Chain A
Amino acid sequence: MSLAFDKVPLQLTVNGKPCAVEVEPRTLLVELIREQLNLTGTHVGCDTTYCGACTVLLNGRNVKSCTVLAVQADGSDVRTVEGLATEGKLHPVQEAYAANHGLQCGFCTPGLLMSTVRLLEKHPKPSDQQIRKAIAGNTCRCTGYQNILKAIRAAAAAGK
């Protein structure tokens, strides 16, 4: 069997900008984002769809971009951590993580920020149970989560 596989043309919106690319069918969304679009804020922390470091928003919903094929995202709106700050000003959720020590090494943070943004867009005033459920697919090896919970409560209280 030949290994020359046809490339597939895709049209997406990435962080608000239209974007036309060609990918091999096996390209993962995270590979497209990091390696073709050079948006390296989205991280890869595992090989097993476990850690959530790769979380991005696909049409507003948080997904693990290591477990979505780029071809599945054709025509979609993709938001990554790079899309949060506007004109050099941090997004309120980023501000809340910084102010509440919601990160230490920061490896998990891009994914957690995206899950948090999704949560607050869906439930602007989430209960603690809703917060825990929303970030249950994001693993953090540093913080012990307490300051992440604090950050999310603070972001919600700030009404953002």
Chain B
Amino acid sequence: MSPYPFHYHRAHTLAEAVTLLAQLGGEGQLLAGGQSLIPLMKLRLARPGALVDLNFVPGLSAIDEHSGEIRMGAMARHAALEDSELVARVPILHDCAAGIADSQVRNMGTIGGSVAEADPSGDWVAVLLTLGAQVRCTGPQGERIMPVSDFVTDAYTTMLGPAEIVQEIRVKLPPAKSGGAFIAFKRCASVYASASAAVQLTLGDGDICRDIHIALGCVGLTAVVPIAAQDALRGKPVSAKSIENAADAAMAAAEPQSDMRGSADYKRVLVRAVVKRAIDIAARRARGERVEAGHEYVARV
């Protein structure tokens, strides 16, 4: 089906996009990769009066290292992040970028659109939470930057003002002996995960877990940070037993709903499994091992 008719505005600079959004009031909506918005418009679940197209703003898709941070422009496509050697230095970022949907969707969809959409089943927010990522925004009042944990406030809801735009995502390069992993389990490639776990940790002497951040995707209105699961490992040796305890605590923190991706009970058990695996792989990576992780599905051989 075709989208409902709308007016089209092409921005050539970020400032022009902000001005256009402010002039259009509630009518205007940003178009990034379109991989969330266009499907909704085709089904007429979204009906914006006007689109402000960010695809022709130069420089908005840069992926750079600066002051010990990876800076990813809002329009950086998932595929560009998947192929970036800089991004691969933080393996959990690569895990996420390389497995979202399928190659076609990754060639269009952007990290900025994903974060702004704040879909509870989206992958980026959970991953970025474990890295303490910052979201840089630009609006009529100028620029501001805030942690992703503050930026996403509820399902499909963020701190963005009506004419405000996500400009960039910033991630600090983790300290030595750090490792992370993202495991998302889905039924096939071109769908959102049923449950996912992002784990980023830093080891100290004697395999003690000095610091750990865990976030669960698809099992709450926003990504769930299971505090008790983090406490089960922080300051303790990483062992089969402590990983098991953390996975149990994560399962207890999940708040899944039954839907076509599975029953709530099934998803709780899935959470335990993906958390366990993600911690194990994160720790092995922190020790310097090369281990694959990412999105997994039933049909994958």
B273 → A minimal CB distance (Å): 22
A-chain residues with CB within 8 Å of residue B190 when the two chains form the complex: 49-50, 52, 136-137, 139
**Contact of B31 with A63 in the complex, beta carbons under 8 Å:** no
With beta carbons under 8 angstroms apart, the residue of A31, A52, A72 that contacts B2 is A31
**Which of A1-9, A79-87, A89-97, A98-106 sits within the interface?**
A1-9
With beta carbons under 8 angstroms apart, the residue of B5, B10, B35 that contacts A67 is B35
Count A-side interface residues using an 8 Å CB cutoff.
39
Q: B46 at the A/B interface (Cβ < 8 Å)?
A: no
Q: A22 at the A/B interface (Cβ < 8 Å)?
A: no
A-chain residues with CB within 8 Å of residue B58 when the two chains form the complex: none
**Contact of A62 with B107 in the complex, beta carbons under 8 Å:** yes
**Contact of A68 with B38 in the complex, beta carbons under 8 Å:** yes
**Contact of A61 with B79 in the complex, beta carbons under 8 Å:** yes
Q: A64 at the A/B interface (Cβ < 8 Å)?
A: yes
With beta carbons under 8 angstroms apart, the residue of A25, A74, A132 that contacts B7 is A25
**Contact of B6 with A115 in the complex, beta carbons under 8 Å:** no
Within 8 A of A (CB), among B96-155: 101-105, 107-108
**Contact of B8 with A67 in the complex, beta carbons under 8 Å:** no
On whether A26 and B4 interact (CB within 8 A), knowing A61-B79, A67-B108, A71-B10, the answer reads: yes
Q: B1 at the A/B interface (Cβ < 8 Å)?
A: yes
**Contact of A63 with B108 in the complex, beta carbons under 8 Å:** yes
**Contact of B49 with A1 in the complex, beta carbons under 8 Å:** yes
**Contact of B51 with A25 in the complex, beta carbons under 8 Å:** yes
On whether A25 and B6 interact (CB within 8 A), knowing A50-B190, A69-B34, A69-B38, the answer reads: yes
Q: B290 at the A/B interface (Cβ < 8 Å)?
A: no
Cα–Cα, bound, A25→B184 (Å): 36
Q: A42 at the A/B interface (Cβ < 8 Å)?
A: no
B-chain residues with CB within 8 Å of residue A71 when the two chains form the complex: 8, 10, 53
B-chain residues with CB within 8 Å of residue A6 when the two chains form the complex: 7-8
**Contact of B55 with A72 in the complex, beta carbons under 8 Å:** yes
With beta carbons under 8 angstroms apart, the residue of A3, A25, A26, A115 that contacts B104 is A115
Within 8 A of A (CB), among B234-263: none
Within 8 A of B (CB), among A12-64: 24-28, 31, 47-50, 52, 55, 58, 61-64
Q: A118 at the A/B interface (Cβ < 8 Å)?
A: yes
**Contact of B105 with A49 in the complex, beta carbons under 8 Å:** yes
Q: B42 at the A/B interface (Cβ < 8 Å)?
A: yes
A55 → B minimal CB distance (Å): 6
B26 → A minimal CB distance (Å): 13
**Contact of A64 with B8 in the complex, beta carbons under 8 Å:** no
Q: B189 at the A/B interface (Cβ < 8 Å)?
A: yes
Cα–Cα, bound, A139→B102 (Å): 11
**Contact of A48 with B2 in the complex, beta carbons under 8 Å:** no
Cα–Cα, bound, A52→B10 (Å): 27
Q: B301 at the A/B interface (Cβ < 8 Å)?
A: yes
Cα–Cα, bound, A49→B51 (Å): 20
B binding-site residues for A, Cβ under 8 Å: 1-8, 10, 31, 34-35, 38-39, 41-43, 49, 51, 53, 55-56, 79, 101-105, 107-108, 188-191, 300-301
A binding-site residues for B, Cβ under 8 Å: 1, 3, 5-6, 8, 24-28, 31, 47-50, 52, 55, 58, 61-64, 66-69, 71-72, 74, 115, 118, 132-139
Pick the 4 closest A-B CB pairs, nearest first.
Answer: A137-B102, A136-B189, A25-B8, A61-B107
